[in-house]
């Protein structure tokens, strides 16, 4: 079994998007994303699959708790499922859809200049800002046509 700790992007209260993306990558790679999404709800305690579900849920809980700074993680120690922690952290720290954050990112994109940086460094910063904006402009609540339109608009803007 690989480590129960995720060392990159510890949740510090100001980096929810990066933290959540890091967690999703690790948890998905380990085949346990359903514990965050709720696609693997707990079976009845009498179900023979329950002990396995409980052990896997505990692993994902440990990954979540260990990926947070101590002052944040202690608030979530008493939650029973990884999904409860995932949802509670999202409610507490997510700024998805926050128009002031979107405005700030768009302002940074408008003002960014290469300056004395290398082209690689400049392009990397530019790409990071566009990726973060993409996360803020969550598409999951849109119809397919609207989502496609928004994607094309963002692609034109980024060029």
Query: Can you give the pLDDT at residue 56?
Result: 97
Bridge partners (DSSP) of residue 68 are: 11
Mean pLDDT of 114-122: 86
**Shared domain check, 21 and 79:** yes
**Shared domain check, 113 and 74:** no
**Shared domain check, 105 and 87:** no
Q: Compute the distance between CA of residue 84 and CA of residue 146 in angstroms, rounded to an integer.
A: 31
Query: Can you give the pLDDT at residue 1?
Result: 47
Distance from CA of residue 3 to its chain's centroid? 20
**Shared domain check, 77 and 24:** yes
Query: Can you give the pLDDT at residue 97?
Result: 53
> Is 62 part of any domain?
yes
Among 71, 93, 115, give the residue marking a domain's end: 93
Question: For residue 115, what are the domain limits?
Answer: 99-158
**Shared domain check, 71 and 31:** yes
Q: Compute the distance between CA of residue 35 and CA of residue 156 in angstroms, rounded to an integer.
A: 36
Model confidence over 20-51: pLDDT tens digits? Answer: 888 999 999 999 999 999 999 999 999 999 99
Q: Compute the distance between CA of residue 87 and CA of residue 138 in angstroms, rounded to an integer.
A: 16
- Domain count of the fold of the chain: 2
């Amino acid at each position: 079994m690989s480590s129960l700790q995720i060392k990159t992007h510890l949740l510090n209260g100001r980096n929810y998007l990066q933290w959540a993306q890091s967690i999703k990558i690790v948890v998905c790679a380990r085949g346990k994303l359903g514990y965050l999404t709720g696609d693997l709800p707990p079976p009845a305690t009498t179900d023979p699959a329950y002990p396995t579900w409980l052990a896997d849920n505990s692993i994902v809980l440990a990954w979540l708790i260990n990926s947070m700074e101590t002052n944040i993680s202690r608030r979530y120690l008493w939650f029973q499922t990884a999904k409860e922690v995932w949802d509670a952290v999202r409610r507490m720290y997510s700024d998805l859809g926050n128009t002031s954050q979107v405005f700030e990112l768009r302002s940074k994109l408008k003002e960014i200049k290469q300056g004395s940086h290398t082209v690689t460094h400049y392009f990397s910063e530019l790409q990071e800002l566009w990726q973060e904006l993409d996360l803020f402009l969550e598409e999951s609540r849109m119809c397919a046509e609207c989502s496609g339109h928004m994607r094309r608009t963002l692609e034109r803007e980024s060029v």
